[in-house]
């Protein structure tokens, strides 16, 4: 199994997964159809399936065009809002592409119909892969009864917006308590060498915020310096590892004294909620978006006061 990481749009990543014996390929979160086909053509593979993690436009905007260009293409996901969907998947459902096995895992959080995909090959030294275009800070809720055993080889984990390098996705369709429960139940079961591939390139700003949260954290300082060098060279910062994230990602450090002190909260879910709100404030101050996006984020995190409150 070969995974191609494809940068698209302003800061998105989409993925092309190649079964190296049959040369069949599966795409995850198609944002730009032509770019995906360009990579698939260069690799000499036959693209048969699209796995969409959720319905947001920057993860599915290429589905319809791709389906038009490739008649018979299967577009799969768990949410009826996904563009050009041909098959709705259920939690725990299994798929197979050549030697590649897929376990579909419903992981609501960033959106209510979010699906993660766990991929592996039997008797293969290559690591498995978990693609989760968006859940929430780390938030892949995998009931024990549906989680495949991780092989002893180095796991590969692509968390997309759920867990980015030193950060997490925006809280949209779930509560902080549910987010934390998913975080505690799932990431705690993954080995520290798990490779983390995210859906967006937000590493530099994430680490700048992490430094604000924990100014004395040497791991944050070292990673920030490294990320600045990567940014100067215009090189992606993915992947990281879960073990690394636990050292510098504040959203995975909600029980640490320094992070609790920064938020003024003690309960993990409340710390997580406060961190997300402060991250939104930080983003709005450092990198003001378009007015419509700014208003949406402000409303989402309660950063706008009502007339009466003023």
Tens-digit pLDDT profile for residues 44-73: 999 999 999 888 888 899 999 999 999 999
pLDDT of residue 62: 96
**110 catalytic, yes or no?**
yes
Task: Assign a CATH topology to domain 2-136+158-287.
Answer: Metallo-beta-lactamase; Chain A (3.60.15)
Q: Is the pLDDT of residue 155 over 80?
A: no
- The answer to whether 174 is a known catalytic residue is no
Judge whether 200 counts as a catalytic residue: yes
Residue 122 among the catalytic residues: no
pLDDT at residue 47, rounded to an integer: 98
d(CA 290, CA 164): 22
CA-CA distance, 1 to 17, in Å (whole number)? 7
Report residue 231 as tokens: 């940014």
Our answer to whether residue 58 is catalytic in this structure is yes
Catalytic residue among 29, 55, 79, 110: 110
> Distance between the two ends of the chain, CA-based, in angstroms?
57
Active site residue 171: no
Whether residue 239 has a cis bond before it, omega within 30° of 0: yes
**pLDDT at position 32 over 70:** yes
Averaged pLDDT, 9-26: 92
Residue 34 phi, psi (nearest 5): -60, -40
pLDDT band for 76, please (50, 70, 90 cuts): very high
Per-domain residue ranges for the chain? 2-136+158-287
Q: Is the pLDDT of residue 301 over 60?
A: no
- Of these residues, 56, 114, 171, 202, which one is catalytic? 56
Give tens-digit pLDDT for 258-272: 999 999 999 998 998
């Amino acid at each position: 199994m070969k995974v191609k990481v494809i940068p698209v749009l302003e800061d998105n990543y989409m993925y092309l997964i190649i079964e190296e014996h049959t040369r069949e390929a599966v795409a995850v979160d198609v944002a730009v159809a032509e770019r995906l086909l360009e990579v698939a053509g260069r690799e000499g593979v036959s693209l048969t399936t699209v796995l969409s993690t959720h319905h947001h436009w920057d993860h599915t905007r290429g589905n319809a065009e791709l389906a038009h260009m490739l008649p018979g293409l299967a577009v799969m996901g768990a949410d009826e809002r996904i563009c050009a969907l041909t098959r709705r998947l259920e939690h725990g459902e299994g798929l197979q592409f050549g030697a590649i096995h897929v376990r579909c895992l419903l992981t609501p959080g960033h959106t209510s119909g979010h699906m993660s995909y766990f991929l592996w090959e039997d008797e293969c030294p290559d690591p498995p892969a978990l693609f989760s275009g968006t859940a929430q800070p780390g938030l892949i809720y995998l009931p024990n009864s549906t989680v495949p055993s991780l092989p002893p080889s180095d796991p590969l984990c692509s968390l997309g917006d759920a867990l980015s390098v030193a950060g997490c996705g925006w809280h949209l369709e779930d509560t902080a308590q549910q987010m934390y429960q998913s975080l505690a139940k799932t990431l705690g079961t993954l080995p520290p060498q798990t490779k983390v591939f995210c859906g967006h390139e937000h590493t530099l700003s994430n680490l700048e915020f992490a430094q604000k949260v924990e100014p004395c954290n040497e791991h944050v300082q070292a990673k920030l310096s490294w990320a600045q060098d990567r940014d100067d060279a215009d090189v992606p910062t993915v992947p990281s590892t879960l073990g690394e994230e636990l050292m510098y990602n504040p959203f995975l450090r909600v029980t640490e004294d320094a992070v609790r002190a920064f938020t003024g909260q003690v309960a993990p879910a409340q710390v997580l909620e406060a961190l997300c709100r402060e991250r939104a404030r930080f983003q709005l101050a450092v990198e003001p978006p378009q007015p419509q996006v700014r208003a949406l984020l402000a409303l989402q995190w309660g950063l706008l006061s009502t007339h009466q409150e003023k």
